[in-house]
Amino acid sequence: MKRTILVGLVMVFLTTICLSDVSAANRKHEFPVKHAKEGKSSKNMLDIPFYMKGEAHPTATQTLGEFKSNKKANGFRKKDQDACDHAFASAIIALQQRAQREGGNAVIDVYSITKDVKYENAEKYTCVAGNTVVHVALMGTVATIE
């Protein structure tokens, strides 16, 4: 009898954890790019510069296409901004790697996309945070700059 109750409680607990992100309202945030650039996740960024939409950058001599990067990060028991900054850095790294593959030396006009809505801001990006996962989606143009 005790074992049955214990198994039942464990099942309820596990179900609650698994469904918590589904039933929880996702929170949309706008965070400063500067904070993400200075955070511990930024140390993995490549030496390929990136510029947010509206941010001044050197003249592009060639554009090689616009590309999207979707990244998720673990948000469990973390501050939303810390987890979002990590996802942002991961998305930027993916765009920088795409620039390398395409033969570019920069990513320009980077902007966020949240639920198919563009967010173009030179100083901020958007992030959606649930109870356990955060999500950042970015679009950027791979370019060759002077």
Cα–Cα distances in angstroms (integers) from residue 106 to residues 20, 38, 84, 133, in the given order: 39, 19, 23, 29
Domain count within the chain: 1
Q: What does the pLDDT read at residue 41?
A: 83
Interstrand relation of 117-119 and 50-52 (parallel, antiparallel or unpaired) = unpaired
Mean pLDDT of 25-40: 93
Q: Is residue 59 in some structural domain?
A: yes
Tokens of 104: 């570019």
CATH number at residue 52: 3.30.110
Between CA 141 and CA 83 the distance in angstroms is 25
Q: Tell me which residue of 103, 101, 90 sits closest to 138, measured CA to CA.
A: 90
Is residue 6 in a domain? no
For strands 124-129 and 117-119, give the pairing: unpaired
Q: Is the pLDDT of residue 31 over 90?
A: yes
Average pLDDT of span 128-135: 96
CA angle 48, 142, 35 (to 5 degrees): 50
Q: What is the pLDDT of residues 8-17, one digit of tens each?
A: 555 544 444 4
Residue 7 lies in a domain: no
The reported pTM is 0.83
Opening angle at CA 49, ends 44 and 55, nearest 5: 125
pLDDT at site 88? 98
Residue whose C-alpha is closest to residue 99's, from 38, 33, 34, 49: 49
The token pair at 144 is 């060759």
Q: Which of helix, strand or coil describes residue 26?
A: coil
Query: pLDDT by residue (tens digit) across 54-65?
Result: 999 999 999 999
Structural domain boundaries, residue 141 = 25-145
Within-domain flag for 134: yes
